Structure 1
Amino acid sequence: MNDATSPTTAAAPLVTAHRGDVEQHRENTLAAVRAAVEAGADFVEVDVRLTRDGYAVLLHDPTLERMWEDPRDVGDVDWADVAALGRGEGKDHRIPLLADALDAVAGTGSVLLIDMDEPGPAQASVAVVRSHAQDARAAGTEPARVAWCGNLEAMTIVRGLDADASVWLPWNRRDLPPAELLARLRPHAVNSDYAVLSQALVDAAHTAGVLVACWTVDSEDGMRWALALGADAVTTNRLSVLRTVIAEGPAAWASAPHPRHLPGDELAAAAAVAHELALWAIDYTRQANLGVISTKANPADHVTEVDLAVEQHVRQVIAARLPGHLVVGEELGGTPAPGVPCWYVDPVDGTANLANGMPWTAFSLALAIDHEPLVAVVADVWRGNVFAAVAGYGAEADGVRLDIRTTGTRSDLSGKIVCTELEGHASWPGMDAFFTGLRERFCTARLMGSGALAVAGPAAGRGVGTAIERFSPVDHLASTLIIREAGGVILDDAGQETAWPERAFLAAHPDYAAELYAVWSSARRAAREVSHVV
């Protein structure tokens, strides 16, 4: 084992160049590899795939299209044709063989970190590394130092072929790697997306004598966050920025905020779990016996055995499928924690309706990190619809995309429907004036008894807006993300768009938002003035 990959010698944070120095050259080319070495990268990460005739080449994507404008899968193309791509740019700027990258790193202070996202290239790549080392020793020169990362099955193959290989365990979960896996793979590092990095993971890895590496961190705050937790190696596309951040030292790192995103696979898993729970809640709520109906804060604040059973099921599923995630619920409570994914669940939004035999209730579930909403579902239990959204990816209802983005024309409220909800079981200050303002515009108001359905409704053409007096993430976070991702707006009391209102908010179709906000804000302002006079 060499010093650069030993878990006992990472005295300072190590820099990993993602696919070479991609700020200077095209990724996974010899030019990018050499530039990363010259920039002093401790590790130069490259991706390996196989051509049709079995040559190991540097390429991340399965196809040649993104980087080389050739739509073919590299596995369907012989090496001679792959080598010809970009021929006018010179050898250092074309797709190289893994053997060429090893030669470029040999005798330098950098380690070539060979990444594979599938097991196919593993055996051939190990053979290339062995051949390179044998040739170097025969010539009396120093071979390239190598480490391996990527797909778990690929790493298992590498370990089986080379007992001394420096293997990085891929780990993108929030729980800790099991002892059995650590013993079997004997990794020199645990390698994870920095968004799932935690102090517990770092401490456990270091206790086991294993380095902690993370990828791919391009923001300065993300770098500081990872370094503050004790990450030993950071993979980045921005080598000079990472060097600068490392030089700042621990005091500067400690001020970095928690990352507020999920790795792609965890985000996809969260969205899938949310959708499954929404469908389950529809079936269960329709069929279950209400059991004992009791009250909480007052006689109008109902809770049924269905509420409790649904929330308990949600908690069990999330604990099993998404370990490390927290849950805050309408019935069983909970507390969010900084930087930790947290679900907000209202098992039956509209329990008073359910308790009184009125088929207008919802299941509401949202995932957020701090005040950054990420995933949402709202199930219209009695119509069987599921509204869903993922931040940055849009919203849908039963698989059909929702899009209410503005047409650029302001529309009046005449003939439209606007919803609101009581504050608890009472009217909110200004509600009467709000109704008056709507009536004067020949706009009809509705109070349906489910804030989640009322807020999400305009995303699917159910009315043009909803006024809510008191925001609660348990009650409203899912529906506010859905309407925002569908192209609607959430306005706070001051008329500013927001993802997490402090108190009162207005959800609206963008073409009606201005007029509706004028009516709503005027009514609330008048109520405050009357209250002040009294």
Structure 2
Amino acid sequence: MTVLGYSVDLAFAQRLADAADSITTARFRALDLDVQSKPDRTPVTDADTAVEDAVRALLGAERPDDAVAGEERGGSATQPGRVWVIDPIDGTKNFLRGVPVWATLIALVEDGVPVVGLVSAPLLGRRWWAATGEGAWLRDAAGERRISVSGVAALDDATLSTTDLGSWNTYHSREAYLRLVDACWESRAFGDFWQHCLVAEGALDIAVEPIVNPWDVAPMRVLVSEAGGRFSDLSGQPGIDGGSALSTNGLVHERALELLARQDG
């Protein structure tokens, strides 16, 4: 795929995000919002399904030869070929509680590797995007600009974020996460998509999650990498199907992995 080809795909991803934003902003804080629980007890709203259905319809009309994988309608994000990966609303719990920190995540994955990524958070007034070889970008109230990770080289100067401390007990190790917290200067819980985007911007140095799905992180790998950082799972593998995620500025990545390693005996 040429750089021109990724530019075309990225422009299409922007159109998909525009369609998604028109649905999510209209349904945010709607009094008739329909909320159900999935088998894993996570919530799904009618806005989630409406966004994914709208994006799938556009893809079917304009990219009929590409596969699609999404959180609500299924599909494999890592199958061979070109796959559009969709998380219609990342941060659904925020969305249904009226907290404006949520986003639509869109990625184009080629043979298991994300090559285009876009994150649109309309209530934050922010959209991030990246494509292989084209850098990472942000548009907000200040305009459009290229972004890059921080230059913080030591953990004791680093700022760290996760999504939910309780999830470390269930999916990895609370003790391992707290080792990393103790080694860092500051810790926060911006959560979900936002923390990875803040790593790409250079506002955070580390974002880490013990449990993720491919649609949660497919855009993050290309966004953080194109911003000059590093993305992996907690074993250090760069794929999007490892079940966990670590985004850093690259300089503190190995040390963070060391501290996050489980010590089960």
The normalised TM-score by structure 2 is 0.85
CA 1:492–1:348 in structure 2 vs 1: closer, same or farther (change >3 Å)?
A: closer
Once structures 1 and 2 are overlaid, which stretch shifts more, 275-284 or 383-392? 275-284
Q: 1:276 Cα deviation (Å)?
A: 1.9
Task: Answer yes or no: is 1:418 the counterpart of 2:160.
Answer: yes
Which residue of the other structure, out of 140, 143, 147, is the alignment partner of 1:402? 147
Q: SS state of the match for residue 155, structure 2?
A: coil
Contact 2:20 2:54 in 1 (8 A): no
Q: SS state of the match for residue 53, structure 2?
A: helix
1:84 match: none
Task: Answer yes or no: is 1:445 the counterpart of 2:185.
Answer: no
1:333 match: 74
Contact 1:349 1:363 in 2 (8 A): yes
2:245 match: 505
Give the number of the structure whose residues are more often strand, by fraction: 2
The runs of 5 or more residues in structure 1 that have no matched partner are 1-261, 530-534
Which residue of the other structure, out of 192, 196, 199, is the alignment partner of 1:455? 196
Q: Given residue 297 of structure 1, which amino acid in structure 2 is its aligned partner? A: P
Q: Distance in 2 between matches of 1:476 and 1:491?
A: 10
The normalised TM-score by structure 1 is 0.44
Contact 2:108 2:115 in 1 (8 A): yes
Which residue of the other structure, out of 57, 60, 81, is the alignment partner of 1:319? 60
Contact 1:456 1:479 in 2 (8 A): yes
Contact 1:423 1:470 in 2 (8 A): no
Bigger-Rg structure (1/2): 1
RMSD: 2.6
What do residues 375-431 of structure 1 show as CA deviations (whole Å, max 9, x unaligned)? Answer: 1101123212111011122111113111227x5x723334x4311234996743312
Q: Distance in 1 between matches of 2:199 and 2:236?
A: 18
Task: Answer yes or no: is 1:474 the counterpart of 2:215.
Answer: yes
Q: Distance in 1 between matches of 2:154 and 2:2?
A: 40
Which residue of the other structure, out of 297, 316, 329, is the alignment partner of 2:39? 297
1:347 match: 88
Q: 1:271 Cα deviation (Å)?
A: 0.8
Q: Given residue 211 of structure 2, which amino acid in structure 1 is its aligned partner? A: R
What do residues 175-212 of structure 1 show as CA deviations (whole Å, max 9, x unaligned)? Answer: xxxxxxxxxxxxxxxxxxxxxxxxxxxxxxxxxxxxxx
Q: Distance in 1 between matches of 2:4 and 2:250?
A: 32
Which residue of the other structure, out of 411, 429, 448, is the alignment partner of 2:172? 429
Which residue of the other structure, out of 133, 140, 164, is the alignment partner of 1:392? 133
Q: Sequence identity, in percent?
A: 24
Alignment of 1:361-380 (within 5 A): 361-380=102-121
Q: 1:501 Cα deviation (Å)?
A: 5.2
Alignment of 1:100-111 (within 5 A): none
Query: How many pairs were matched up?
Result: 257
Q: Given residue 188 of structure 2, which amino acid in structure 1 is its aligned partner? A: A
Task: Answer yes or no: is 1:267 the counterpart of 2:6.
Answer: yes
CA 1:392–1:343 in structure 2 vs 1: closer, same or farther (change >3 Å)?
A: same
Which structure is richer in relative contact order (CA contacts within 8 A, separation 6 or more)? 2
Q: 1:315 Cα deviation (Å)?
A: 0.5
CA 1:387–1:303 in structure 2 vs 1: closer, same or farther (change >3 Å)?
A: same
Q: SS state of the match for residue 195, structure 2?
A: helix
Alignment of 1:102-121 (within 5 A): none
Contact 2:113 2:239 in 1 (8 A): yes
1:79 match: none
Contact 2:130 2:223 in 1 (8 A): yes
Q: 1:505 Cα deviation (Å)?
A: 3.2
